[in-house]
Structure 1
Amino acid sequence: MNFGQFKEELFKEAKKSGFEEYEIYYSDAESLSINIYEGEVEKYKLNNAFGLSFRGKVNGKMGYSYTEILDKDAIKTLIENAKNAALVIENEDVQFIYDGDKEYKELNCYKKELDNIKPDKLISLATEMENECKKQCDKVVNFNGCGIGYGKSIYGIINSKGLNLKNERNNLTAYVIPIIEENNEKYDGMGYVIAKKLTDINPKNLANQGLKEALDRVGGKSIPSGKYKVIINNEAMVSLLGTFSSIFDAEQAQKGLSLLKGKEGEIIASDILTLIDDPHLEDGLGTTAFDDEGVATYKKEIITNGKLNTLLYNLKTANKAGIKSTGNGFKSSYASIVGVSATNFYINPGKKSFEEICEEVKEGVVVTEFAGLHSGANAVTGDFSLATKGFKIENGKKTTPIEQITVAGNFFDLLKNIEEVGNDLKFPMSSIGCPSVIVKELSIAGK
């Protein structure tokens, strides 16, 4: 049964079975991942995955079900499972099948330049990345990974109210993680790129990027415990913002799991901090014209100069709050229910370069990497205590590497204590982006 026939039959049966409103969400994805080890293809994985979820309202309650097969039996199962799920729901949350918006932004998330790239070309580039690392540095003893990945997907929503939306996207990424040895100690670094076209994958540059990061870490030592003025660099700040991003989720706030509950309109951060959710960002990994409920997306400032303007809402949470959805109703997969999440989520960059903000700090610490974010950070309280690597700042310059330290603080306090925002905004293979920031003070446990 083809997709069109399946949809018609499913909708007919849904109506017959007493569903008042109903909708399908579908996803058709293809991915290729290639991993190289010691000049050989270690893994070559081609994946094709189609999935369809059905949701419908019975007696005002929403039931979900899903399938990977399009046939008559699947229609029967989808209807039965969704109906049974709806009938056992006891909470009073109002769920919606959306009528649609008048306008949706025209976006192009599909890069034709990435079409029909031959796998042997990708293998050749990945092998070259490894070779370049060895060529550029005789201290390379191993690799933590070296690979290239390509993915493309089509996803869309069709419902009984006449909504019919579709989006197509693709992406190409490459990375290499060389391990070097110096004085019987091993250090690694990562070179990576999100490519718009094949020529963006430059093995020489990626090898150089990974090696520089590894070599910069050589000889890292602890520092005395104390309170330090800190620069959290762009990549480390991305990992921290990602860990605490759920505090901006209205669903978490409504459940009492975010301290930002009831804080909209209040000052919660430094007056130089502006936090943006931009679903229309060019080449963003989270770029989309509509969310997974069919609501048109738009760019919004979550925080403007320290003031919390809004949390992120889907239709259910917006209805509870008596406001409009912010277009942030998303599923984690076709098989999951609609939750809340950001699109391209980033701190607006400032004007000063990394070197200039080092000069401003004069004496302090640059944090370049946090470890243990899942166990050492509490998104409800905002507290964190994390193993950290970085560098000293001496006389306004980044100098010797630091390791074996733990940085502790509170994310809500950190937002208030940001004194400067750099211009080096970066999205490190992520839909979350940050520039480097100066934090007034953080506690560091060292030697």
Structure 2
Amino acid sequence: MEFKSFKKMLLKKGIEAGFEECEIYFSEGESISISVYEGEVEKYSLDKAFGLSFRGKLNGKIGYSFTEIMDFDAINMLIKNAKESALYIENDDMQFIYEGDKKYEKVSSYSEKLENIDAAKMIELVLDVEKETKLYENVVNINGCKISYSSSNYGIYNTKGLELTNKSNILMSYVVPVVEENGEKQDGIGYTIAKSLDEIDPKTIAKQGVKEAISKLNGKIIPSGNYKTILYNEAMVSLIGTFADIFSADSAQKGLSLLKDKEGEIIANEIVTIVDNPLLEDGLASTPFDDEGVATFKKEIVSQGKLTTLLHNLKTANKANVKTTGNGFKASYSSQVGVEPSNLYIEKGEKSFDELMGLVGEGVVITDLAGLHSGANSITGDFSLAAKGFYIKDGKKEFPIEQITVAGNYFDLLKNIEVIGNDLKFPMSNVGSPSVIIKELSIAGS
């Protein structure tokens, strides 16, 4: 059955079955992923996916169901399962099917240059990436070399007249070279995100990956102590992503965020502004509407150090007696609506990375953090993480550092940010950050 006919019949049958309101959310997409090794295609995968979820309101409760098949049996199954789901709900939280907003902003999330992408050209490019990487004499292995393309089309239709669709696509390529010197091996990553095949430069990707790997060679362990620290943009991104849930109103209402009822309070240094921006040009999570059909907008979660809002969907906003922030998102078509950020980042400052090192004088730069899932507590904010980076002396990188552990508290860290750089970066992620100077961090070394 065609989607248009299926959608119309499902909504009609839903109302006839006794639902007060009904809604359909659908997503469809395709992806091409190509990995190469030793000059040959190691893995080639082409995937297409479609999924649809149905929500129906019955006696004030909303039941969910989902399918990947569109036929008459699926319609009956969706209605039956959604009814049963609604009957099993025991909490009294208000549930909503949204009528829509008057205006939805345009977003830049789809490149027409990537339509009908040439898989043969993708293979040629990723082979060139591997070839360029191997030209460096100290590269002894490649732990991964890949190019991938994905596109998606998704939307919402309901019985209150809402009809929304949006599409996005993305192309990326990366390489992970391993270099060796005097028996020591280190790896690095070079990558790019592009709007067209012409934007992928194999030489640039290879150079980036090899340069990073070489910079880690001959690392040393430094003595334990408290150090003035630069958290490099990618390391700061790791922390922001790990602790992003503290800004969720759903977490706060469940007692899982220390920011509950802290709106209006200072939670960071006054130079810190944290933004959730679903309208960011070419952002990986840019969208004109959330998965409840609410128009999205740019908002400052933290403005000059002050917590201005938590992130809300319709349910959490109703419980808090505020307006939703348009952050009602689903992990997939088969999931229920939760609360998630879109493009989340710290606003950049004015100082370059070299200027940050000059301001520190002597201290450390943390470039890599590991153990984020096991070594960070998103409720208390405490973290203890394996780290790598560089020692700074006289405002310049002196030598690489390794086998150290960085410990602290995320809430304290936000208050101890002294300077923010201008190198805002989104490393293959919807979370971004510039590099920042932290007053001091506890480092366990030798």
TM-score range, shorter chain: over 0.9
What secondary structure, in the 3-state scheme, does the structure 1 residue paired with 2:214 have? helix
Determine what percentage of the aligned residue pairs are the same residue.
64
- The farther-off stretch of 106-115 and 204-213 is 106-115
The separation in 1 between residues aligned to 2:336 and 2:316, in whole angstroms, is 14
What secondary structure, in the 3-state scheme, does the structure 2 residue paired with 1:170 have? strand
Cα drift, residue 106 of structure 1:
2.0
Where does residue 130 of structure 1 map in the other structure? 130
Cα deviation per residue 1:51-110 (whole Å; 9 max; x = unaligned)? 000011111001100000000010011001110010010001111000100110122421
Where does residue 8 of structure 1 map in the other structure? 8
Cα deviation per residue 1:198-244 (whole Å; 9 max; x = unaligned)? 12110000000000000000001110000001000000100110000
The separation in 2 between residues aligned to 1:45 and 1:134, in whole angstroms, is 25
What secondary structure, in the 3-state scheme, does the structure 2 residue paired with 1:80 have? helix
Cα drift, residue 249 of structure 1:
0.4
Cα drift, residue 329 of structure 1:
0.3
What secondary structure, in the 3-state scheme, does the structure 2 residue paired with 1:374 have? coil
Where does residue 227 of structure 1 map in the other structure? 226
The separation in 2 between residues aligned to 1:106 and 1:371, in whole angstroms, is 37
The letter for the 2-side match of 1:147 is K
- The farther-off stretch of 94-103 and 114-123 is 114-123
Where does residue 410 of structure 2 map in the other structure? 411
The letter for the 2-side match of 1:337 is Q
Aligned residue runs from structure 1 range 203-242, under 5 A: 203-242=202-241
The separation in 1 between residues aligned to 2:244 and 2:385, in whole angstroms, is 17
- The farther-off stretch of 158-167 and 108-117 is 108-117
On the 8 A contact 2:27/2:51 being kept in 1, the answer is yes
The separation in 1 between residues aligned to 2:380 and 2:292, in whole angstroms, is 30
The separation in 2 between residues aligned to 1:125 and 1:16, in whole angstroms, is 54
Is 1:330 the counterpart of 2:329 in the alignment?
Answer: yes
What secondary structure, in the 3-state scheme, does the structure 1 residue paired with 2:374 have? helix
Unaligned runs of 5+ in 1: none
What secondary structure, in the 3-state scheme, does the structure 2 residue paired with 1:45 have? strand
TM-score by length of structure 2 reads: 0.99
Where does residue 80 of structure 2 map in the other structure? 80
Is 1:431 the counterpart of 2:430 in the alignment?
Answer: yes
Cα drift, residue 116 of structure 1:
1.9
Aligned-residue Cα RMSD (Å) equals 0.7
Where does residue 302 of structure 2 map in the other structure? 303
Where does residue 37 of structure 2 map in the other structure? 37
Cα deviation per residue 1:156-197 (whole Å; 9 max; x = unaligned)? 000000000000111100101101111111100000011012
Where does residue 174 of structure 1 map in the other structure? 173
The separation in 1 between residues aligned to 2:221 and 2:54, in whole angstroms, is 55
Where does residue 47 of structure 2 map in the other structure? 47
TM-score by length of structure 1 reads: 0.99
Cα drift, residue 353 of structure 1:
0.2
Unaligned runs of 5+ in 2: none
On the 8 A contact 2:99/2:160 being kept in 1, the answer is yes
The separation in 1 between residues aligned to 2:278 and 2:217, in whole angstroms, is 40
Where does residue 92 of structure 1 map in the other structure? 92
What secondary structure, in the 3-state scheme, does the structure 2 residue paired with 1:211 have? helix
Where does residue 112 of structure 1 map in the other structure? 112
Cα drift, residue 9 of structure 1:
1.4
Aligned length: 446
Where does residue 390 of structure 1 map in the other structure? 389
The separation in 2 between residues aligned to 1:367 and 1:195, in whole angstroms, is 27
On the 8 A contact 2:94/2:315 being kept in 1, the answer is yes
What secondary structure, in the 3-state scheme, does the structure 2 residue paired with 1:440 have? strand
Where does residue 189 of structure 2 map in the other structure? 190
The separation in 1 between residues aligned to 2:246 and 2:233, in whole angstroms, is 20
The letter for the 1-side match of 2:358 is E
Where does residue 121 of structure 1 map in the other structure? 121
The list of structure 1 runs, each at least 4 consecutive aligned residues, that deviate by more than 3 angstroms after superposition, is: none
Where does residue 442 of structure 1 map in the other structure? 441
Where does residue 146 of structure 1 map in the other structure? 145
